Amino acid sequence: MATTTQWKYLERDPLSSYTQLSIKGRRIRARTLYGRYMSAEEPMTVEEIAADYNLPIEAVQEAITYCQSKPPEIDRDFQYEEALVELAGHNEPGSMGRALRSVPPEVKARLRREIYGDEARP
C-alpha cells in the first residue's frame, strides 16, 4: 500500500495539464520555486523566494521538500513536454524556438496515455 503525504500548501492544479503539485490556489508549480532555489546562476534563499511570490516561508519549504523527494510526476510532466516540443519541431533548424507544425489532439492523447497511464487527463 502506497503512503501519500498530506501537503498543507500543495495540490494538483485542477486547471493544469501537469500532474505535479502546485501552490494551492496560486497556479505556481512547486518545481518552479525549486528551480529558483537550486539555480546554478542565481540561487535564491527560501526567504527571497517567499517574498518574490508573496508566499509563506513554509509554503516554499514544502515545495522544496516535495521536489527533493523526486516525485515521478515531475519526470512524467517533463517527458510529456519534451515529446511535444519534439513533435512540434521546436528544436529543428530554422524553427527559432517556434512550432513548425501543430500536434493533433489524438497524438497528444496517445502520448499522454503512454507517459501518464491511468493518470492521463482528457
What is the rounded CA–CA span in Å between residue 79 and residue 5?
24
Q: pLDDT value at position 3? A: 52
Q: pLDDT value at position 119? A: 61
What is the rounded CA–CA span in Å between residue 98 and residue 111?
20
Query: Do the beta carbons of residue 18 and residue 75 sit within 8 Å?
Result: no
What is the rounded CA–CA span in Å between residue 69 and residue 74?
11
Q: pLDDT value at position 26? A: 95
- Whether the model pTM is above 0.85: no
Q: pLDDT value at position 105? A: 94
CB environment 52-82: b (16+ within 10 A), e (fewer): ebebeeebbbbbbebbeeebeebebbeebee
**Ranges in the chain, pLDDT < 70:** 1-3, 118-122
Q: pLDDT value at position 97? A: 85
